[in-house]
Amino acid sequence: MSAPAPGQTTKGSGMNWVGRAIRRLEDPALVTGNGRFTADLKAEHYVRFLRSPVAAGRLGKITAPNGAWLVTAADLGNLKPILPMLSKFNYKAVAQPILPTDAVRFTGEVIAALIAPTAEQAEDLVEETQADIAETAPLVDSRDAVAAGAPALHAVAPDNVVVEGVVKTPEFDAAWAGATKHITADIRSYRQNATPMEGRAGHAAYDAATGRVTFTCATQMPHLMRTAIADILDMPESDLRVIAPDVGGGFGQKMSLTPEYVILVWLARKYRSSFSWTEDRRENLIGGFHSRDQYVTVEGAFDANAKLIALKADVLSNIGAYSCFPTTCGVEPLMAMAEMPGPYDVRHYACRARGVATNTCPMAPYRGVSRPIITFTLERLMDKAAAAFGLDPVEIRRRNLIDTFPYTSATGLVYDEGTYKKTLAMAVEAVDLPAFRARQKKARDEGRYLGIGFSTFSERTGYGSPAFAARGMAITPGWETVHLSVDPSGFVEARIGASPHGQGLRTTLAQIIADEIGIEPQRIKVVHGDTDRAPYGWGTFASRSLVICGGATLIAARKVRAKLIRLASHMLEADAADIVLEDGAAKVAGTDRAITVAALARESYMQTHRFKGETEPGLNETGTYDPGGTFSNACHVATVEVDIETGKVTMEKFLVAEDAGRIINPMIADGQVQGGIAQGIGNALLEEIVYDDTGNILSTTLADYLPPTAHEIPPIELHHIETHTDASITKAKGIGEGGTIGAPAAVVNAINDALAPFRVQIDEMPATPQRIRAALRNAGHAA
């Protein structure tokens, strides 16, 4: 790995923690078994949910064993449904009942709750409870759902199209007609599940003294969870405290509101007790939100020099039975429409993107959302175009990548400074392409098939409320607020609205603060995930935390630094410009005069009279940040070997050249990229949620749904470039999703390169052995 240069020392600080690979401050508790997870909490009552065994049907009577504690829709009364809203893109407001009254719409839908003194007893009750469901014909595939005469899942969307975006730039038709070649790629992305190590979990406890409920849950958005549940139950938000403790992975799946959480809080309020539910793996796979079930047809119009001059796309996104809250089901199709041009300079663009309801589990964001599919689509198009023009895949990318910044895309997105061609060149040099081609030729002569695949992409990160407002969301997330205080003992507490769950945010924020106020990160505590303690915020998702929450932290820390310098200037009788904060003290530059930050903090509380009204008591400041967003970029390279007899793909090596702006902590940044690559390899080769024609889900265990293991992950080589952008106050860009975005395209392109002698093409993911063998058979090259 090429190590990034250290961050620039802050004026007024002699410290330089930014840019250092210090160990994560949050890890000791986790690796010693002292983490706090929702399932660790004991409860008076345990809840298990009865789920629909069929994809579509009319719901009748539910019969539980005698004496069983059963909760159905009739018990809940007139609770509001989950109703995410958009005001644009022909959006149809599809309501999801907390418990259904008359119809079931997907296998795994919650239809009742059973409560018992233990989870095991509650599970037994579920097994003994019967639901009378008159099964009807389901719609499983989005193409069937939009076919003429298809039954409607919801009356508000008679054609099953819940959201539709259409864009076409001026003069598109003329540009299209003037092209030298038109290249088409028909892409299929099969359904996936985020599969976090910890499934969903909730624990709701009533406090008789205050009348409040404390709801501890595995969520990425504790404040919005509080708002949403309070709205549905028609209760004051002040009566509901939501806590997100340690969360064992989220990846977007834990952003969305679920009926199970609403039921738990309803139970706690109604029965004034505590109730707990922990999702098992089967529940997670059938009902824990899915993603990336899309058909995409993309056509590129190229001039004689293989320059992409126009791009046309049609996106059909299966959004499942309901729309997810708060992002809505538009999150996948609308992102695909807005960001399809990716890192390429194409001025003419037309796209139709539809989100279609089916009798399948609802969709929610999953690491990268639509970008892994967008990148897969574009990178397959580029490889096909390279073959049509007789060019090397690297050369056609070089001719088409954006190289002038700022750049405004065909859909109006403004790309800040990036290194699209530079990361491509860095990756090509590091992988030694000529040497690989020589090795590939030698292997082919021996009957072995090696391949190399490239994937170049941009990642929109750290975008605030303007980006979400453009979608017409009724709830417009974006900004973040940080409260920063130094207590009288000199220790620092940062209370943040973001809610990390494995990203190392406590450490990176502490590094930012430490540089500003001249202390060690170990003296800084970051508080998050508790709506009673943390300021209102939007949680952690979309590669935003370090950019937006980090920006708010920097703003607050600069205010604290300025106040410390004023205090030190007064107490040391020196000009403020001569004060330097370093090594836990305020020092007068060029002298031995100093006072500790701890002493300054104590004076700010205990000796306020000494400052004659020059500063307010204490050291407490707030920062809020709401940026427009910034673009990271990278080039991924995968090398593979394909066994044409079995279809097995062996990963040889994975290489990344990445530009995510200033790297706050190289070790954490590398971990984010490596983890994302692992998920991307799983997406490319292994992971698929499978339904049969009746809507019955077939991949309900980890024997059927195959996440990657250490055995499938090759050596990963990382290279970083740091482009410091004015679009981010910290100069950092988001890095959390990039590994997952670029990896699938690089892997599948490598497979296609390996299979080039057989003239077969794999344009779907995952590229399983069965699909590779089928492609070879169809081309007449395999028995």
Identify which of 460, 479, 459, 481 has the alpha carbon closest to the alpha carbon of residue 469.
479
Look up residue 49 and give its two tokens: 């949910």
Scanning the structure block, which residue is given the tokens 């418990």? 99
Residues 401, 345: contact at Cβ < 8 Å? Answer: yes
For residue 449, count other CB atoms closer than 10 A to its CB: 20
pLDDT higher than threshold 70 for residue 300: yes
- What pLDDT does residue 783 have? 55
- Name the pLDDT band for 10 (thresholds 50, 70, 90): very low
Q: How does the average pLDDT of the chain come out, rounded?
A: 95
Beta bridge partners of 276: 46, 203
Residue 338's SS3 state is: helix
Q: Which of 212-221, 227-236, 491-500, 538-547 has the lowest mean pLDDT?
A: 538-547
Predicted confidence (pLDDT) per residue in 611-638, tens digit:
877 788 999 999 999 999 999 999 999 9
pLDDT higher than threshold 50 for residue 9: no
For residue 724, the one-letter residue type is H
Residue 399's SS3 state is: helix
Predicted confidence (pLDDT) per residue in 185-195, tens digit:
999 999 999 99
What is the side-by-side order of every strand in the sheet holding 585-588? 579-582, 585-588, 594-596
In this prediction, residues 707-736 reach a mean pLDDT of 96
Say which residue, 5 or 433, is predicted with more confidence: 433
Predicted confidence (pLDDT) per residue in 64-85, tens digit:
999 999 999 999 999 999 999 9
Predicted confidence (pLDDT) per residue in 588-601, tens digit:
999 999 999 999 99
In this prediction, residues 238-244 reach a mean pLDDT of 98
* Separation in Å, CA 61 to CA 102, 103, 111, 540, 688: 10, 12, 11, 41, 34
pTM: 0.96
Predicted confidence (pLDDT) per residue in 334-388, tens digit:
999 999 999 999 999 999 999 999 999 999 999 999 999 999 999 999 999 999 9
Distance in angstroms (rounded) separating the CA atoms of residues 524 and 484: 10
For residue 211, count other CB atoms closer than 10 A to its CB: 12
Radius of gyration of the chain (CA): 27
Extended beta strands in 140-219, E state: 161-168, 181-189, 201-207, 212-217
End-to-end CA distance of the chain: 44
Residues 430, 2: contact at Cβ < 8 Å? Answer: no
- What pLDDT does residue 298 have? 98
- Name the pLDDT band for 782 (thresholds 50, 70, 90): low
Predicted confidence (pLDDT) per residue in 98-127, tens digit:
999 999 999 999 999 999 999 999 999 999
What is the DSSP secondary-structure string of 222-248? HHHHHHHHHHHHT--GGGEEEE--S-S
Distance in angstroms (rounded) separating the CA atoms of residues 227 and 346: 42
For residue 668, count other CB atoms closer than 10 A to its CB: 22
Residue 366's SS3 state is: coil
pLDDT higher than threshold 80 for residue 15: no
- What pLDDT does residue 5 have? 39
710: exposed, middle or buried (C-beta count within 10 Å: 0-12, 13-18, 19+)? exposed
Residues 550, 511: contact at Cβ < 8 Å? Answer: no
What is the side-by-side order of every strand in the sheet holding 161-168? 161-168, 348-357, 308-320, 294-302, 181-189, 764-765
In this prediction, residues 643-664 reach a mean pLDDT of 97
Beta bridge partners of 596: 585
Angle between helices 420-431 and 433-445 (to 10 degrees): 50
- What pLDDT does residue 13 have? 55
Predicted confidence (pLDDT) per residue in 467-526, tens digit:
888 888 888 889 999 999 999 999 999 999 999 988 999 999 999 999 999 999 999 999
pLDDT higher than threshold 60 for residue 7: no
What is the DSSP secondary-structure string of 509-546? HHHHHHHHHT--GGGEEEE-SBTTTSPS---S-TT-II
For residue 594, count other CB atoms closer than 10 A to its CB: 17
The answer, yes or no, to whether the previous bond of 757 is cis (omega within 30 of 0) is no
Phi, psi of 772 (to 5 degrees): -65, -45
Scanning the structure block, which residue is given the tokens 């907390």? 98
For residue 623, count other CB atoms closer than 10 A to its CB: 23
Question: What per-residue string of b and e applies to 162-184 under the rule 16 or more CB within 10 Å gives b?
Answer: bbbbebebeebeebbeebeeebe
- Name the pLDDT band for 162 (thresholds 50, 70, 90): very high
Look up residue 767 and give its two tokens: 């590229």
- What pLDDT does residue 1 have? 33
pLDDT higher than threshold 70 for residue 3: no
* Separation in Å, CA 713 to CA 187, 288, 640, 653, 750: 25, 26, 11, 8, 15
Angle between helices 222-233 and 259-271 (to 10 degrees): 60
Question: What per-residue string of b and e applies to 98-132 under the rule 16 or more CB within 10 Å gives b?
Answer: bbbeebbbbbbbbbbbbbbeebeebebbbeebebe
Look up residue 309 and give its two tokens: 């001059």
For residue 467, count other CB atoms closer than 10 A to its CB: 20
Residues 729, 629: contact at Cβ < 8 Å? Answer: no
DSSP 153: S
Distance in angstroms (rounded) separating the CA atoms of residues 654 and 670: 13
What is the DSSP secondary-structure string of 50-92? EE-SSSSEEEEEEE--TT-EEE-HHHH-SPPPB---BSSTT--
For residue 35, the one-letter residue type is G
Identify which of 129, 148, 161, 146 has the alpha carbon closest to the alpha carbon of residue 62.
129
Identify which of 417, 712, 658, 376 has the alpha carbon closest to the alpha carbon of residue 543.
658
